[in-house]
Amino acid sequence: MKDLQAVLDHADAHMDDSLERLFELIRIPSVSTVAAHADDCKAAATWLSDQLNELGFDASVRATEGHPMVVGHNEGADGPHVLFYGHYDVQPVDPLDLWNTDPFEPTLVPAPDGDTHITGRGATDDKGQLLTFVEACRAWKAVTGRLPIKVSMLFEGEEESGSKSLGPFLEATKEELRADVMMVCDTDMWDRETPAITTMLRGMVGEEFTITTADRDLHSGMFGNAARNALQVTSDALSSLRKADGGVAIEGFYDGVQDLAPEIRAQWQSLPFDQAGFLGDVGLSIPAGESAYSIMEQVWARPSCEIHGVIGGYTDPGFKTVIPAQATAKVSFRLVAGQDPFRIRDAFRDHIRAHVPADCSVEFTSHGASPALSLPLDSPYLAATRDALGQEWNTEAALAGAGGSIPIVGEFKRQLGMDTLLVGFARFDNRIHSPYEKYDLSSFKGGIRSFIRILAALSEVESA
């Protein structure tokens, strides 16, 4: 495309302006899980809507039962219609004492490798990633006055708190939001120099259960041995979820799960991956998943079961010899293609019920269920995007799997039948959801330039 180099040059020349806009967005403490930040979430949505309108989009803030959505449309040139998704909400910053700087005051920190870290909550997840696409559109508009393809944008404010408003919102707006392909930026590069397109995304089931034993907490001297201990019953039920080989022990859990195709396994084995370093970087050395599979397969292509929290009994400072009458546990399952999330949920609940004594009770709370997804490898949108990334980074983009789950992808596939291109520029050490979150300046710059190229490349694809 004749204008491509001019657009890239414009983005480079105005990178400081792009960075200042990122700083403005990070400074808005849009923590969706904390009620006190509801107005901040509205402020972030308004800021994004204003930015899109400034670029010539028809954008607005849309109310939901929870935090608002932002929707924007721009006609662009003929060709495919892309719907871009990001989220403006962020995780809480606790524990605050582990941050070296104010979480909502972005800071540029020189890195030992010569890069620069942009620190702040949401720098990577997802404000920095989201703005790489917005700033790419800004550069196209500044140079040519239009976008090379039709673009719509959807920014959500509840991704970090379960996306409870997403389903009803999509149901109400699916005709408005339907496009040829969806693009999501909430993913990683393969390594510091190699971009990646995530073609496999695990699904998820989130569950919470509460076991009740006696009708009140009991004195361990008076009732010890004779009375059921809710924490003990909960611990026994949780320990029964795993097999000795690292597999999941729930009946029917692996129904429908297939091993990787030989050609995909061969491609993954050709990618540079340090198995020892993967765990070594977090202070571990022994893989805990299914022993018959490599670490890469464990986190990308095999389903998992993880315990996230157990609550019960006396946990304040000091000591209290109480037998708790109630305990709660939070558990999630990452799913792969072939697994039905609702069957997994039901099988898990049956498994827990089978480990609860007859004179005790259990109640369950669902925290969502979404299937795993995979992108067809013969997609013309995938081919065009991979070529564009290769030109920007001077190396072929990896076709990667992902251990995480992005419920929006499943919702759009289910409601609109749209496939999703997952292209992000985060790096493994970005400390997402953790104190001192950062985004590499090279990722921000490279992401903007990459999306400029991707928009140009997609303009050459015939729309469906």
DSSP 409-440: HHHHHHHH---EEEE--B-TTS-TTSTT-EEE
According to CATH, the topology of domain 203-266+291-370 is Alpha-Beta Plaits (3.30.70)
Number of neighbours of residue 74 by Cβ within 10 angstroms: 20
End-to-end CA distance of the chain: 21
Confirm if 43 and 30 have CB atoms less than 8 A apart.
yes
Domain boundaries, the chain: 4-201+372-458, 203-266+291-370
Question: In the prediction, which pLDDT does 463 show?
Answer: 67
How far is Cα 288 from Cα 279, in angstroms, rounded to an integer? 10
Using the CB atoms, write b or e for 104-120: b if 16+ within 10 Å: bebbeeeeeeeebbbbb
DSSP-assigned letter for residue 281: T
Confirm if 62 and 71 have CB atoms less than 8 A apart.
yes
Please name the helix (run of DSSP H) or strand (run of DSSP E) that holds residue 219, with its range, or none.
strand 218-219
Interval 49-64: pLDDT, tens: 999 999 999 999 999 9
Closest CA relative to residue 217, chosen from 311, 327, 316: 327
Confirm if 421 and 406 have CB atoms less than 8 A apart.
no
4-201+372-458, which class in CATH? alpha beta
How far is Cα 371 from Cα 201, in angstroms, rounded to an integer? 9
Question: Can you tell me whether residue 335 is helix, strand or coil?
Answer: strand
- The residue whose two tokens read 């040059």 is 9
Question: In the prediction, which pLDDT does 464 show?
Answer: 59
CA distances from 300 to 55, 293, 295, 403, 405 (A): 38, 11, 9, 5, 11
DSSP 113-134: TS-EEEESTTTTTTHHHHHHHH
Question: In the prediction, which pLDDT does 122 show?
Answer: 98
Query: In the beta sheet, which residues pair with residue 82?
Result: 151, 181
How far is Cα 131 from Cα 22, in angstroms, rounded to an integer? 7
DSSP 53-116: HHTT-EEEEE--SSSPEEEEEE--SSS-EEEEEEE--B----SGGG-SS-TTS-EEEE-TTS-E
Residue type, 20: E
Question: In the prediction, which pLDDT does 182 show?
Answer: 94
How far is Cα 382 from Cα 206, in angstroms, rounded to an integer? 30
Confirm if 92 and 34 have CB atoms less than 8 A apart.
yes
Question: In the prediction, which pLDDT does 38 show?
Answer: 97
Question: In the prediction, which pLDDT does 254 show?
Answer: 97
Question: Can you tell me whether residue 301 is helix, strand or coil?
Answer: coil
Contacts with 448 (C-beta within 8 Å, 6 or more apart), sequence order: 11, 15, 18, 132, 135, 136, 139
Q: What is the pLDDT along the chain (464 residues), one digit of tens a residue?
A: 789 999 999 999 999 999 999 999 999 999 999 999 999 999 999 999 999 999 999 999 999 999 999 999 998 888 899 999 999 999 999 999 999 999 999 999 999 999 999 999 999 999 999 999 999 999 999 999 999 999 999 999 999 998 899 989 999 999 999 999 999 998 999 999 999 999 888 888 999 999 999 999 999 999 999 999 999 999 999 999 999 999 999 999 999 998 887 877 887 888 888 888 989 988 999 999 999 999 989 998 999 999 999 999 999 999 999 999 999 999 999 999 889 999 999 999 999 999 999 999 999 999 988 888 888 888 999 999 999 999 999 999 988 887 777 767 877 888 888 889 999 999 989 999 999 999 999 999 999 999 999 999 999 998 65
Count, residues in the chain: 464
How far is Cα 227 from Cα 324, in angstroms, rounded to an integer? 10
Residue type, 203: G
Question: In the prediction, which pLDDT does 188 show?
Answer: 92
359: which 2 tokens? Answer: 């004179």
